[in-house]
Structure 1
Amino acid sequence: MRIFIHYVAALALLTIYGGQVCPLIDTLTIFHWGSLLLVTFTPMVVLRFLLEPRVVQSAPVYDQPGRQFLLEFSLFAIFGLFLSIYDTVVLHFPPMESGAKVILGFISFGFFIGLDLALAREHKNGEAIIRDGITPPEASSYTTLTRKFSTFALATVALTGTIVILAVAKDVYWLSEVDMAKDGMMAQLLIMAEISFILAILCTYILTIIISYTRNIRLFFGNETSVLRQVHSGDLSGRVPALTRDEFGEIAAHTNTMIDGLRERDRIKSVFGKAVSPTIARRLMEQEEKGVSLGGSRQMLVILFSDIRNFTSYTESNPPEMVIKDVNAWFTEAVASIQDHGGIVDKFIGDGILAVFGLDGDVAACENAARCAMDMQARLQGLAPNLCEPMSVGIGIHKGEVLAGIVGSPERLEFTVVGDVVNTASRIEGMTRDLKASVLISKAVYTDLKTNMDLSDWRDYGAQTLKGKAEPIHLFGLPME
């Protein structure tokens, strides 16, 4: 419908245009001049519909708008040339006085119609790309918005100015033959009406182009901002399809690169969060943003150390695949329990786990660690039917001041806790074998538990000398069942 309106309007306006700018054409009747235009337009329209599928629709998506413009503009220019030749050869009109004006009229309509249909093609292709999720092939050319605007502005000014000058020149010629004393006022009114009509037509076409381009810009910005809103809300599943090969397309490509970077960042955070505790991962990333500074701060923390008993014989008597499967099953349950009770997994040490409670200032760290230890043992019992053989785990808990912070080098960082309390917790876990206990805690931990937990099932194991420690330590614990 858009094409039909453009071509019918062009036929009608060119019929009027001829008489407005050319005194020679003005000598013809409207029917005669209109018939010549109709004969010219008929094969042009037929040829247009034959060429469009081959020239425009078969081209890459990015190249179609440009080809649409060239098709429309070329047809108007070529058939305008044919008509000007007819004027010169058959009607014997001077080529510079009539033929050039005919060609100019056809070129002007070809320019505005071609540009509007090209913008319509660009909009249609853009909607299809967004709707169907098409990834267009690379375009053969790149045209900046500055070049597009400047070309349109210069061509519009040149065509508008030339047509107005030709109309004025024709009117001056006409005024030379008018009796100004008698018909001067009427002649002036007719000239003003004529110039106003020409400017109204030109302004209408210019406004049409502006509206079409504004509609395309709205589509381009909507395409970009809708995905950016998703990114702002945390949804990185979208991509910005590049609808054009200009700055809008470049912005879309850079936005997609940014989204890919954010996806990679989240993937790294996800993998990093699986390698270390999410809390520790966050602290390391915050430290990296501030600038790497090795070291830490003294904190009063509760340290939980667990270890699989007789793991060497366990690995010797079972296939490696089954050992890995069982250990992973246990680690899965143990980590879930530690996180459920507000603890942080510092690291895996072979078949052992070092966990920290109270890193964020939790006053119930001792209670949480003790309840976590009991829950870990309960979860281990629940795993028993799925293990290749029974698994026994000892858990030791101690409380004290440690240095919590970053160790390593600027190239490789690790957040950990360092101090005698950590070593003591490991030694307490080692004593679970000798004392036949499933969980052992130091007196420092036990003292904090007395007011918050039922300790009737806990046994007092008295002062015990730990391996490598000069001073004995008072232990309490849960006997093995």
Structure 2
Amino acid sequence: MAKRHGRLSIFAVLLSGLLLSSVTGVGLSLYFGLQTALQNTRDLWITMTSADIADAERIIHDRLAQTARRNVWIATKVAEGAIDPLSPAFWSSQAASLIATEKAIAAIGITTPDGSFIGYDQHNQKVVKEKADLYDMMITSQLLKMGPAQSQTLFPYWQSLIGEAVLGEAIPLFQDGQYLGALIQYLTLPGLSRDLPMQQKDDGRTAFITVADHIIAHPGLSNWQKVNMRTEKSGFIPKSIEEATSVLPRMDQIGDPILSQRARWEPVELGDSLSYALDQRIDASQVVINGEYQIIVTRNDSDGSTNPITFGIHFAPSVFEAEGQRINRLFLIGAVVLLGSVIIAWVIAHLFSRPLKRFSMATRQFEDGDLKALPQLPDSIISEFNDAATSFNHMVHTLHDRARIERIFGKFVPPAIAQTLLTSQSDTGTVPSRKCVATTLFVDLQGFTTMSEKADPQDVVDILNAYFADATAIIEARHGIITQFQGDAILAVYNAVGEQPDHADAALETAIELQKLVHSKQFKGTTLRCRCGVNTGELVAGSIGAPDRLSFTVNGDSVNSAARLEAMNKELGTRILLGETTRNQLSDPSRVTLAKEVLLRGRSETTAVYTIAIDGIDA
């Protein structure tokens, strides 16, 4: 049987194929499902955040616009002479009522060119008349140089009179061509932060507003001011314009790890549909901080101010917690499905491969020729496998029956003849007659008739069976065919069935081995001697008898001559006699010696007969 090298088992192929398909299918479904879920979640929060930013921007714009309109109204009234901005009565009554509903406005007042300040402090609800703030005096000087102008938003700075960082809204006041000073409304940054709607959402998002990289709104701004600006009783008074305008923390100073890593922000690729739906001023960025994925959404606003404002919100990981739990459940379900598919794949592969393995093992045993070891294949729930197992079992039963028939048939018919009959396409049970040159061996026991008369018949049968068993083995080992047992005699032929070129040598060697057999062994305690006649010639081999009772035999003068040569051994005192035709067929004719020229019965002329000396028997 050929060895298998580099072959894959059907179980491995089936399991690999099923696992590949199931793992690939489930894996791709999980991958794309999770990717889609994460992307959808991200896009949803970006959309929600952009809407919140838009609301915050609208509120800031509305508040600044309202503050600017108030400035314009007051400036107009001052120009008309209807309001005296230097009168404390105006600030305690009319100005106080103008900002009463604006909680984010800490104060409103005028800074005059001579460095005085008069106005209304809404937090303390009183009129304030003090030396003007350093930064306010600078603004007042600049507005004088610019002449009458619209209201404008000031860059956030520290207002020493209020003691807070403020966002100023300023406008120059003129009356009868005379510059009276700068009217400024002060919006506190912490108040501005608290009023924003996105600061009121407790959903894990952090909102912020920046102006030129400085924070003006952030949940941590108030605490930062307390720690860094000493806003308690001692107060903080800037000593220069630069110090006043640098009081706001930069993005890397507020203590927010996301904002502090501004340089690491990377753009987020938004889908076409989301990009189309969002405002073009919306930018989405991403950054990984301590292994956590963060998204930052910002919107730049350059309208209405010399200093552009950026509104932004970044997502904390808790934003995705609910969606993350859903995704985790999805992943868990996918893992269970994947594990189930692996188990199912193993079961299916085992279910399909086990019958094939059994069938493969059985066919290899059949190839080895060991019919006794062939298994009975079990039934299978798979129809095709069950049919194959049934057919194989029927074949095995048939082969067992055939082998049994051959064994039984071979006890009555020579194995070579039995094989010829069984392989024949004909059901007649006949062996076609064949005319051929063959060698006939006739063997007869010496003095057995006399012994049989004195011995018990059963003992005679036992002795003969023991002798015939050994003699048959010797004859068939040399490819001889025993055509019949005649009492104590054996008639065998060589080259009658099939081609046997050395048939003469085979017959002679058989005769020699038979002589050695009877001289070296007793049969049931009895010593036997035999004589052998060997002759070669033309004969006819085939089936003879009635149609329902046939036997294989050989006929011809050469067959009769073999029997006559066996009988002549008694006359010449030899054990083996060969005809001249047999001597001429030997591969080494010199092995035999001339015994005598004799006249065989039925012949008109004498013929030479030959014998051979046997080592160990003939001295």
In 2, are the aligned partners of 1:304 and 1:355 still within 8 Å (CA)? yes
In 1, are the aligned partners of 2:436 and 2:540 still within 8 Å (CA)? yes
The structure richer in helix per residue is: 1
1:74 matched residue in structure 2:
none
1:324-345 CA-partner distances (Å, limit 9, x unpaired): 2322232233223323444332
Secondary structure at 2:433's aligned position in 1?
strand
Matched letter for residue 362 of structure 2: V
Distance in 2 separating the partners of 1:399 and 1:381: 26
Distance in 2 separating the partners of 1:448 and 1:207: 75
2:604 matched residue in structure 1:
471
Distance in 2 separating the partners of 1:415 and 1:347: 8
Secondary structure at 1:399's aligned position in 2?
strand
Distance in 1 separating the partners of 2:345 and 2:474: 65
1:327-369 CA-partner distances (Å, limit 9, x unpaired): 2232233223323444332332222111112344444332332
Distance in 2 separating the partners of 1:200 and 1:450: 84
1:308 matched residue in structure 2:
445
Distance in 2 separating the partners of 1:416 and 1:392: 26
Distance in 1 separating the partners of 2:544 and 2:425: 13
Distance 1:226 1:414, change over 3 A: same
Out of 345, 364, 367, the residue aligned to residue 229 of structure 1 is 364
1:367 matched residue in structure 2:
505
Distance in 2 separating the partners of 1:226 and 1:368: 41
2:492 matched residue in structure 1:
355
1:86-135 CA-partner distances (Å, limit 9, x unpaired): xxxxxxxxxxxxxxxxxxxxxxxxxxxxxxxxxxxxxxxxxxxxxxxxxx
- Deviation of 1:413 after TM superposition, in Å, equals 4.8
1:426 matched residue in structure 2:
563
Distance in 2 separating the partners of 1:378 and 1:399: 23
1:460 matched residue in structure 2:
596
1:82 matched residue in structure 2:
none
In 1, are the aligned partners of 2:518 and 2:527 still within 8 Å (CA)? no
Matched letter for residue 218 of structure 1: S
1:134 matched residue in structure 2:
none
1:282 matched residue in structure 2:
419
In 2, are the aligned partners of 1:276 and 1:347 still within 8 Å (CA)? no
Secondary structure at 2:604's aligned position in 1?
coil
Distance 1:378 1:240, change over 3 A: closer
Distance 1:310 1:473, change over 3 A: farther
Distance 1:201 1:451, change over 3 A: closer
2:574 matched residue in structure 1:
437
In 1, are the aligned partners of 2:597 and 2:606 still within 8 Å (CA)? no
> How many percent of aligned residue pairs carry the same amino acid?
25
- Deviation of 1:406 after TM superposition, in Å, equals 3.3
1:292-324 CA-partner distances (Å, limit 9, x unpaired): 565322101111111223433222212233322
Q: Does 1:395 align with 2:532?
A: yes
In 2, are the aligned partners of 1:223 and 1:240 still within 8 Å (CA)? no
Q: TM-score of the superposition, structure 1-length normalised?
A: 0.51
Counterparts of 1:17-416 in structure 2 under 5 Å?
209=344, 211-236=346-371, 237-242=373-378, 244=380, 247=383, 248-249=385-386, 251-288=388-425, 295-359=432-496, 360-383=498-521, 385-386=522-523, 388-408=525-545, 413-416=550-553
Q: Does 1:446 align with 2:573?
A: no
1:139 matched residue in structure 2:
none
In 2, are the aligned partners of 1:240 and 1:256 still within 8 Å (CA)? yes
Distance in 2 separating the partners of 1:307 and 1:315: 14
Matched letter for residue 216 of structure 1: L
- Deviation of 1:460 after TM superposition, in Å, equals 0.9
1:205-259 CA-partner distances (Å, limit 9, x unpaired): 5775455223222223222322222223323213144264563455434423322
Secondary structure at 1:235's aligned position in 2?
coil
Distance 1:423 1:288, change over 3 A: farther
Distance 1:370 1:218, change over 3 A: closer
Distance 1:305 1:473, change over 3 A: farther
- Deviation of 1:276 after TM superposition, in Å, equals 3.7
Distance 1:452 1:294, change over 3 A: closer
Distance in 2 separating the partners of 1:451 and 1:212: 70
Distance 1:392 1:371, change over 3 A: same
Distance 1:287 1:350, change over 3 A: farther
In 2, are the aligned partners of 1:318 and 1:388 still within 8 Å (CA)? no
- Deviation of 1:401 after TM superposition, in Å, equals 0.8
Distance in 1 separating the partners of 2:402 and 2:458: 32
1:162-181 CA-partner distances (Å, limit 9, x unpaired): xxxxxxxxxxxxxxxxxxxx
In 1, are the aligned partners of 2:430 and 2:550 still within 8 Å (CA)? no
293-302 vs 447-456, greater mean Cα deviation: 447-456
The structure richer in strand per residue is: 2
Distance in 2 separating the partners of 1:446 and 1:239: 53
Distance in 1 separating the partners of 2:464 and 2:349: 63
Distance 1:224 1:447, change over 3 A: closer
Distance 1:199 1:431, change over 3 A: same
Secondary structure at 2:534's aligned position in 1?
strand
Q: TM-score of the superposition, structure 2-length normalised?
A: 0.40
Q: How many residues align?
A: 296
Distance in 1 separating the partners of 2:503 and 2:459: 35
Distance 1:392 1:235, change over 3 A: closer
In structure 1, runs of 5+ residues without a counterpart are 1-181
Distance in 1 separating the partners of 2:422 and 2:608: 38
In 2, are the aligned partners of 1:242 and 1:250 still within 8 Å (CA)? no
Distance in 1 separating the partners of 2:358 and 2:394: 16
Matched letter for residue 434 of structure 2: S
Matched letter for residue 367 of structure 1: D
Distance in 2 separating the partners of 1:235 and 1:420: 44
Q: Which one has the largest radius of gyration?
A: 2
